[in-house]
Chain A
Amino acid sequence: MNPYGPVAIYLCVALAAALLFTFLPGLLGRAKPNPQKQEAYECGVEPTSAVHGRFPVRFYLIAMLFVIFDVEAASFYPWAVQMHALRVFGLVEMIVFVIVLAIGYAYVWKKGGFQWR
């Protein structure tokens, strides 16, 4: 038998099951729709809302700063693991990276990017 045979069978069964469970409730259940039932269920969160709502832009600033330092940490980690293999090259790369990041940090700080306004 072809080694992919079981995979094909598995896919067919999965597809059949998915189709079955999609259409069976519609056939068996009695339809009594109301607006609440028609909504997509999302753990109590309103699934849709007006797009013109106001939201604080500060959050995005903080989120962006977080991402920057998250990326920093994320790139430090593999370097720390491979530090001995990468030797001086890795160290120099990391120093350059940190200097560039520090200049950006200093710039944001001095320009008032961390002020909570």
Chain B
Amino acid sequence: MTVNVTSADWYALAPISIVAITALVVLLADLFAPKHVNRYLAIVLAVLGIVVAATDCKAAYAHDFAAFGGAFIVGGFSVVFQEIILIAALGSVVLYGAIGKDDRIAGAIALMLWSACGAMLMAGAGSLMTIFLGIELLSLALYCLCGLADRPTAREAAFKYLILSSVASGFMLYGMAMLFGASGSVALADLTNPVLASNPLLWIGGGLFLVGISFKLSLVPFHAWSPDVYEGAPLPVTAFMSVATKAGTLAVFARFVYAAMPSGVADRLLLPIWIVAGISMIAGNVGMLAQHDLKRLLAYSGIAQIGYMLAALAGGTALGMRYAIFYLAAYTFMNLGAFAIAALISDDAEQGSRLANYRGLAQKSPAAAALMTVFLLALAGLPPTAGFLGKILILSTTASAGYVWLGIALIVGTAISLYAYAKIIRAMYQRDEHAHTHAAHPFVPLAWASAIVCCVAVVVLTFVPPALRDVLPLVR
């Protein structure tokens, strides 16, 4: 098969290219600019690049186009996911600018941008090759980023992530090889051929592929890496990882579920995934109860949240897709916001990630405590936040698609999680004479800005949910 590559194909990749080139420019600027402007330059360039990419990306909304013979598909779906990933990158770059070390800032920001490129590639991936390329680009940069902090747990995190993620990639690749063996093509669209429904290769390959996906999403039997890795990685990297990895992988999963299976296969092949999603909601929220570290807590929370998003996709309805994306967007803002507050009260040792340091926070910084309360309420799914609306929408679509038991798991999980979130809120508003005094970081205004923007977004999304009418179809 020969693919005629035209300039339109390259334009489809423009947002990704802009982000990648920005990363190179950040590195070059770090080499040649004087030392004392390094930090400003890196942040300004990265933010500029992300904003340009986001503006450019928007143009493809509602203009479906299959670039490179269907290997990369732009359209409403990819645009929404790419924008979410860019928002995650923006938030994390700003946080890194706020608390990162001077001599590492350019390298870390460049790696973060490349990682975002991988996630953006996954958002539009229409063939098995592009999916794998995106996943590896995303992960390789993250392995390095995880090890950047100056503590032994960072190295442990990087090593654990590298080894376990490689194993998962192996599973996924093996599954992809079998899917290719079944359909004779790497294009996802060719997997819908009804002849394949009786082919055992499709079943085994699809199963292995989903195992790889479940690992990247940190669903429950494959979740053990995420609390350790989240804890060890530098705070802004954890913020990025918790959102961008999930967004990219969710995009791949959604495309696979909605557009890459012969009819009749989906119900049975995906049933284990829905069960696992239900277990994740419960287990993630139960795991949260025992945590003393904000990053670990948010890792367990993320395990549960991704369960909610998958529940929206159960049944494969058009509404479910929109609600999953809406919840992902809401989750992006509340998670980034919570990490921004953690960055606010951190110094280099990142003691802002230890829950003990939140005791009596309201006395010292009422604004930070109030913002954190909003984010925690949103994560728990209480009004008036986007988390509440997202959960209601997911409940309605899951129940009407015939997966009532998933809805019940969602409610039970939410009830459990309330206790864990409320514990932090109570600690923040407790009187505490021995409250820690935090070393004020010079670049803290950046973290404040990020937290405030996230807070506004979390509240506004409740009242003005995006319509997202043009996210389907996913494959052409």
Contact = CB atoms under 8 A, between A and B. Distances in A.
Contacts of A104: 27
In which size bucket is the chain A interface?
under 10
A100 interface: yes
Contacts of B5: 89
Contacts of A107: 27, 30-31, 107
Interface in B1-58: 5, 24, 27-28, 30-31
A106 B24 CA distance: 11
Nearest to A99: B24
A50 interface: no
A110 interface: yes
A71 interface: no
B88 to A, nearest CB: 24
Q: Is the interface of B mostly helix, strand, loop or mixed?
A: helix
Contacts of B31: 106-107, 110
A103 B27 CA distance: 8
Interface centre among A89, A107, A110 (most CB of B within 10 A): A107
A100 B117 CA distance: 15
Nearest to A100: B24
Interface in A64-117: 89, 100, 103-104, 106-107, 110
A107 B26 CA distance: 11
A104 B26 CA distance: 12
A103 B107 CA distance: 12
A60 to B, nearest CB: 13
Nearest to B32: A110
A21 B24 CA distance: 60
B310 to A, nearest CB: 36
Contacts of A103: 24, 27-28
A99 to B, nearest CB: 8
Interface string B207-223: 00000000000000000
Nearest to A103: B24
B9 to A, nearest CB: 12
A87 to B, nearest CB: 12
B137 to A, nearest CB: 13
B162 to A, nearest CB: 14
Contacts of A110: 31
A78 B115 CA distance: 28
Nearest to B110: A107
A89 B6 CA distance: 12
A107 B25 CA distance: 11
A104 B24 CA distance: 9
A30 to B, nearest CB: 45
A50 to B, nearest CB: 19
Contacts of A89: 5
A107 B28 CA distance: 7
A105 B27 CA distance: 11
A110 B30 CA distance: 10
Nearest to B103: A111
Contacts of A100: 24
B117 to A, nearest CB: 12
Nearest to B27: A107
B25 to A, nearest CB: 9
Nearest to A89: B5
B143 to A, nearest CB: 13
A27 B31 CA distance: 70
Interface string B73-115: 0000000000000000000000000000000000100000000
A61 to B, nearest CB: 14
A6 B5 CA distance: 48
A100 B31 CA distance: 15
Contacts of B27: 103-104, 107
Interface of B: 5, 24, 27-28, 30-31, 107
- Ranked nearest first, the 8 interchain pairs of A and B with the lowest CB-CB distance are A110-B31, A107-B27, A103-B24, A103-B27, A103-B28, A106-B31, A107-B31, A100-B24
13 contacts: A89-B5, A100-B24, A103-B24, A103-B27, A103-B28, A104-B27, A106-B28, A106-B31, A107-B27, A107-B30, A107-B31, A107-B107, A110-B31
Given A103-B24, A107-B107, 4 more contacts: A103-B28, A106-B28, A107-B30, A110-B31
